[in-house]
Amino acid sequence: MSKKILIVDDEPNIVMSLEFLMKKEGFEVATATDGEQALAQVAAFSPDLLLLDVMMPKKSGFEVCEALRADPAQGGLLIVMLTAKGRETEVAKGLAIGADAYVTKPFSTKDLVARVRQMLGLA
């Protein structure tokens, strides 16, 4: 059974390119464009891993991460924060609230795929 990835970003070009990339790698993919949609998709799609933008409408990636980490049913969900906010304070905050990894934009798609595969135990 293929692993499921939820891509959450309010930038359509990023969503499209990540969706194409992850499907090409054989993952089942769903997308969301804001924080509230992300939480609904997690419940409906049950992803193994979440690629989560920080700066989004309705709920930020930080708020989504906190909500998911507060839900015992989502304990096994891996969260990778993707953001242009790469200052040490943002990275520290993302990791402190429960993100498993923090990737700053722009990022190498090859490195991102390798990171995702490694986190899902496929590397």
Count of structural domains, the chain: 1
Residue 95: which CATH number? 3.40.50.2300
Residue 1 has pLDDT above 70, yes or no: no
Q: How far apart are CA 123 and CA 121, in angstroms?
A: 6
What digits encode the pLDDT tens for the residues 80-92?
Answer: 998 887 678 888 8
Q: Which range of residues forms the domain containing residue 111?
A: 4-119
What integer is the mean pLDDT of 35-55? Answer: 96
What digits encode the pLDDT tens for the residues 56-113?
Answer: 999 999 999 999 999 999 989 999 998 887 678 888 888 899 999 999 888 898 999 9
Amino acid in position 11: E
What integer is the mean pLDDT of 14-30? Answer: 96
Give the pair of three-digit tokens for residue 122: 């496929």
Q: Is 24 helix (H, G, I), strand (E, B) or coil?
A: helix
pTM of the model: 0.94
